[in-house]
């Protein structure tokens, strides 16, 4: 829709997506994301499995600002 209306991403409109992927780094010159730290999540889950414990923990998140804003 934006292309049909000749709107420019990051100038006329903004876009934020969830959870970073390699594609979002290059798509439309970079899509801004709010992403969880998957590495930290994996380590936390692995340790909970090793320790045989249930845990409740907030996983760190971050905003990666790219040209879509």
pLDDT digits (tens, 9 = 90+) for 2-47: 889 999 999 999 999 999 999 999 999 999 999 999 999 999 999 9
Number of domains the chain is built from: 1
- pTM for this entry: 0.74
Partners of 63 in the beta sheet?
Answer: 34
Evaluate whether residue 10 is within a structural domain: no
- What is the per-residue pLDDT for 1? 87
- What is the per-residue pLDDT for 2? 86
Asked if 64 and 20 touch (Cβ cutoff 8 Å), the reply is: yes
- What is the per-residue pLDDT for 30? 94
Domain residues for the domain of 28 are 16-64
Asked if 66 and 35 touch (Cβ cutoff 8 Å), the reply is: no
Evaluate whether residue 5 is within a structural domain: no
Higher model confidence: residue 1 or residue 15? 15
């Amino acid at each position: 829709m934006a292309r049909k209306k000749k709107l420019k991403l990051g100038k006329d409109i903004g876009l934020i997506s969830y959870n970073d992927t390699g594609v979002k780094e290059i798509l439309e010159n970079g899509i801004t994301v709010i992403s969880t730290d998957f590495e930290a999540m994996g380590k936390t889950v692995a340790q909970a499995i090793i320790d045989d414990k249930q845990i409740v923990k907030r996983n760190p998140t971050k905003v990666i600002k790219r040209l879509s804003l």
